[in-house]
Amino acid sequence: MRKRRSKENEDTEINITPMLDIVFIMLIFFIVTTSFVKETGISPKKPVAQTAESKPRANILIGVDLDGRIWINNRQMQVNQVRQLIEDAVNETPESSVVLIADQESPTGVLIDVMDQVRLGGIIEIAVSAEPESQ
């Protein structure tokens, strides 16, 4: 390339420095914003609530289905397994927060048991998923 440059003046080389800058900035953006979300694997019918607010920082989603089964990370869990999992998650990312995705008709007892286990595991930020009421 360089050799040709000296011969023909109009043959120009593409300057990749600005592209590299952009790519680096995108890379850093995605590294910073990525949080590996533990999805539940179920999509229950959520209750409607007026005070529902967006939870963009939630990274642990716990699903409770119609029959009171607990789903984390596409796997069914027992109540006594939740605490260990939460403790592991806290070790990984200390500022985790939990969103419980409970079906409208799931039993309350399971929900309260799970919330207790999450608290024992060391996460105080707990919210229960709901549809925001359309104004």
Partner 1 sequence: MRKRRHRPDEAEINIAPMLDIIFILLIFFIVTTSFVKEFAVDMSRPSNAPPKTEKLSEVIFVKIDASGQIFVKDRLTDVRAVRANIESGLAANPESPVVVAAARQADAGLLVRVVDQARVAGAQRVSLVALVE
Applying CB under 8 A, among 21, 37, 91, 120 the residue interacting with partner 1 is 37
Q: Are 96 and 90 in contact (CB under 8 A)?
A: yes
Residue 15 Cβ, how far from partner 1 at the closest point, in Å?
13
Report the distance separating Cα 124 and Cα 135, nearest Å: 30
Question: Does 47 help bind partner 1 (rule: CB under 8 A)?
Answer: yes
63 - beta bridge partners?
71, 101
- At CB < 8 A and 24+ separation, what contacts does 35-39 make? 35/59, 35/93, 37/61, 38/72, 38/73, 38/89, 39/73, 39/74
Is residue 70 a contact residue for partner 1 (CB under 8 A)?
no
135 binds partner 1 (CB under 8 A): no
**Stretch in the footprint of partner 1 (CB under 8 A) among 7-15, 74-82, 84-92, 93-101:** 93-101
Can residue 62 be called a binding residue for partner 1 (CB under 8 A)? no
| Contact positions vs partner 1 (CB under 8 A) | 2, 16, 20, 23-24, 26-27, 30-31, 33-37, 45-59, 61, 64, 99-112, 115, 119, 124-132
